[in-house]
């Protein structure tokens, strides 16, 4: 591989923004890729993939390079040199006069024996993972969460069958395969910008991880029901629910962020979905609608530890204080929104975390609370990143 100065400069600029300024990696990369319209697909892939890799293993590379934040252009060049040496990529003359390759490889071999360096996580997070999951499970999951995530699609069966979508995408140059045990899922053979496909423009699919696609089926929503999606966001699971309900009945999609609900409305239009009502969170509405919903989904805010493969910078933004705060929020949301469930209805709690303190323990605390005494746990499931897709948790409860 030959390194080009303008691409390395873009990676340098991006990493400094992410590390020094605390900006989100996906947003930084999005802006970088708009910088030069002459960059081809390989150039763009190099920038995005290299930046994600550097962020994913930031602690390891910085430790080997013997630099610390805040970084300068010069100190980042040492980090980039580590990345290049470990991948056998020769550094050009314009980059460094000399690179200590033997020292880099030796230090890598040494640090790779220590999990917090090898998998590149903060000390406190490594300790937390061990305390909640145990050494073996945490080691396994942390390694899996550092792998590049596959691109999974969810077919919109309101418009097309999975087989027809697979054929159409393959014909457009996006070969993909079905996922056994997940009837609406396809996985791309290689990473590609499927948003440019005609099939996407026609609303035939959404990009959604296979694990995320398991949440809507847990709700068991049926045509004609009244369903609440209480933390809907931009609506990936909301649209899946609408598809399962065959566009019949009513879904009330709620969130505290109006811009996310606006995005959901745009996506619903492209998907041909018209049984969704979007609504900003309103306590008066919650009181009026208490006990009137057949199904209630709480896709709760969480640490996001189960989706680190997609958001590797999240592990550097997480703090113990934030985790304490989010656990408090989860319990409050469970107790507040559970009131929407009618007698005989179902309540589903889900997170994209793998920590029991955000999952099983939250459900147990809710069931033991005053608000949860009318509910009974029916089933729960943890989806592990080591199984190939994102880490998720979901629990279904019946209201007696």
Question: DSSP strand E in the chain: where?
Answer: 152-155, 176-178, 185-188, 205-207, 226-229, 250-255, 276-280, 293-299, 341-351, 375-383, 392-399
Answer for the pair 192, 175: CB distance below 8 angstroms, yes or no.
Answer: no
> Collapsing DSSP states into helix, strand and coil, what is residue 75?
helix
Beta bridge partners of 49: none
Residue 203 per-residue DSSP state: T
Q: What is the largest CA-CA distance in the chain?
A: 73
Q: Of the candidates 117, 92, 97, which has an alpha carbon nearest to the alpha carbon of residue 107?
A: 117
Residue 141 per-residue DSSP state: H
Going from the C-alpha of 233 to that of each of 136, 207, 330, 335, the distances in angstroms are 34, 15, 15, 20
Residue 357 per-residue DSSP state: G
Q: In the annotation, is 352 catalytic? A: yes
Selected catalytic residue, list 176, 230, 302, 352: 352
Give the list of residues 6+ apart from residue 227 with CB closer than 8 angstroms, or none. Answer: 219, 221, 241, 245, 249, 250, 251, 252, 293, 294, 295, 296, 297
Answer for the pair 4, 44: CB distance below 8 angstroms, yes or no.
Answer: no
Answer for the pair 358, 379: CB distance below 8 angstroms, yes or no.
Answer: no
Consecutive H or E run containing 174? none
Q: Residues with catalytic annotation?
A: 352
């Amino acid at each position: 591989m030959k390194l080009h100065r303008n691409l390395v400069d873009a990676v340098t600029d991006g990493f400094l923004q992410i590390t020094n300024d605390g900006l989100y990696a996906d947003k930084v990369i999005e802006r970088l890729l708009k910088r030069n319209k002459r960059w081809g697909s390989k150039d763009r892939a190099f920038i995005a993939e290299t930046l994600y890799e550097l962020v994913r293993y930031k602690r390891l590379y910085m430790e080997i390079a013997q630099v610390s934040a805040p970084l300068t252009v010069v100190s980042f060049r040492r980090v980039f040199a580590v990345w290049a040496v470990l991948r056998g990529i020769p550094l050009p003359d314009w980059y460094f006069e000399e690179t200590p390759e033997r020292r880099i490889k030796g230090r890598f071999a040494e640090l790779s024996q220590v999990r917090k360096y090898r998998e590149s996580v903060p000390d406190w997070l490594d300790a937390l993972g061990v305390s909640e999951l145990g050494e073996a499970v945490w080691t396994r999951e942390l390694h899996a969460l550092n792998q590049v995530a596959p691109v999974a699609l969810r077919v919109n069966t309101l418009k097309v069958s999975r087989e027809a979508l697979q054929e159409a995408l393959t014909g457009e140059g996006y070969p993909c395969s079905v996922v056994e045990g997940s009837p609406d899922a396809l996985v791309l053979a290689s990473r590609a910008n499927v948003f440019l496909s005609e099939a996407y423009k026609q609303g035939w699919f959404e990009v959604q991880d296979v694990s995320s696609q398991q949440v809507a089926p847990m709700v068991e929503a049926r045509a004609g029901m009244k369903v609440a999606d209480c933390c809907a966001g931009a609506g990936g699971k909301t649209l899946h629910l609408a598809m399962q309900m065959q566009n019949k009945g009513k879904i009330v999609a709620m969130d505290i962020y109006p811009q996310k609900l606006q995005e959901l409305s745009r996506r619903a239009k492209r998907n041909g979905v018209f049984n969704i009502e979007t609504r900003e969170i309103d306590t008066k509405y919650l009181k009026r609608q208490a006990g009137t919903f057949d199904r209630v989904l709480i896709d709760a805010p969480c640490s996001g530890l189960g989706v680190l493969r997609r958001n590797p910078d999240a592990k550097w933004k997480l703090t113990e204080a934030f985790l304490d705060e989010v656990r408090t929020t989860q319990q409050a949301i469970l107790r507040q929104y559970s009131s929407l469930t009618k007698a005989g209805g179902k309540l589903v709690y889900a997170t994209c975390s793998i920590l029991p303190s955000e999952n099983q323990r939250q459900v147990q605390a809710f069931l033991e609370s005053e608000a949860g005494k009318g509910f009974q746990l029916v089933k729960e499931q943890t989806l592990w990143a080591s199984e190939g897709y994102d880490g998720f948790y979901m629990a279904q409860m019946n209201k007696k």
